[in-house]
Amino acid sequence: MVYNRSPGPADALRALGASVADTSAQLFASCDAIILMLADDAAVDAILARRESDFGARAQGRLIINMGTHSPEFSLALSNDIVAAGGSFVEAPVSGSRGPAESGELVAMLAGKANAIAQARALLGSMCSTTVVAGAVPTALAMKLAVNLYLIASVTALAEAAHLARLSDVNLDQFAEVIGSGALGSAVARAKLDKIRRDDFSPQAAIADVVKNARLVEGLAAKVRAQAPLLKESRMRFESVAAAGLGGLDMAAVYASYAPGTVPE
């Protein structure tokens, strides 16, 4: 059974045979495990009725698996509230965007009690090709944010390198071939270079979401006193692209911070 706060996206799942709940209350009444993938803290609180009298009934006796990206502080507090209400909680942020999600190749980072993680692993198998047990909450989200630092800085560097190549009259098809075939090749590098060379920035992971995640990474870095100069520069570039009205484009559109006006809206 699925539920979406706006009805449109659920139609495709209904066509595939899923039961679609009309309300979040119907979802909780029908299911003993709930997988959340929501935009932000407020959306999670709203779905769980966390600030309302219904929260206890929604949490009690249920396994709540949260696959969204949040601050470690939020996740730890959420876990404590769910456990106090008689439920079980597993942190399950993922590495991967739309393509890996559709092909069942997400990498999930799990944190929580061992028995809850065992249940979660069985439920996530159709979406995730790999699950890594990180430890206690909120270790999985700390891991996710560290992974995001690497991803954000890497895509920024890739855009910068493509900008240099283009201005140097390098054939971008050949440039992409060298990157993709060598030691630096990865699914992300190949996908983002393909978008840059074709000027196709339809979103897999949108600029606006990257900005949100970059700020979460910076918050964790400040808390643990980690140096993150590459993240800071990258975040400012993504913010500049979002401020230009391009926040809905794929993160490869950070290229526009190097070559304004070259990325189609």
pLDDT, tens digit, for every residue of 102-123? 899 999 999 999 999 999 999 9
Question: In the predicted model, what is the mean pLDDT of the chain?
Answer: 95
Whether 30 has a pLDDT exceeding 80, the answer reads: yes
Looking at residue 8, what is its pLDDT?
A: 85
Q: Is 56 exposed, middle or buried (0-12, 13-18, 19+ CB in 10 A)?
A: middle
Which pair of tokens denotes residue 236?
């400012």
Average pLDDT of 40-46? Answer: 96
CB 230 within 8 A of CB 171: no
Query: 3-35: string of b/e by CB count within 10 Å (b at 16+)?
Result: beeeeeebeeeeeeeeeebeebeebbeebeebb
Amino acid at 227: Q
C-alpha 225/C-alpha 32 separation (Å) is 40
Looking at residue 239, what is its pLDDT?
A: 98
C-alpha 172/C-alpha 166 separation (Å) is 7
pLDDT band at residue 98 using 50, 70 and 90 as cut-offs: confident
Whether 200 has a pLDDT exceeding 80, the answer reads: yes
Which pair of tokens denotes residue 213?
């995640």
Average pLDDT of 184-188? Answer: 91
E-only strand ranges, 49-190: 63-66, 88-91, 94-95, 106-112, 128-135
Question: Given the structure tokens 């493509």, which residue do they identify?
Answer: 162
240 HSE (CA, 13 A, CB side): 15
Q: Is 12 left (phi over 0), alpha (psi -120 to 50) or beta?
A: alpha
Radius of gyration for the chain, computed over Cα atoms and rounded to the nearest angstrom: 20
DSSP 263: S
- Beta-carbon neighbour count of residue 132 at 10 Å? 13
| Closest alpha carbon to 69 in 201, 190, 219 | 219
Look at strands 94-95 and 106-112 and give their pairing: antiparallel
pLDDT band at residue 7 using 50, 70 and 90 as cut-offs: confident
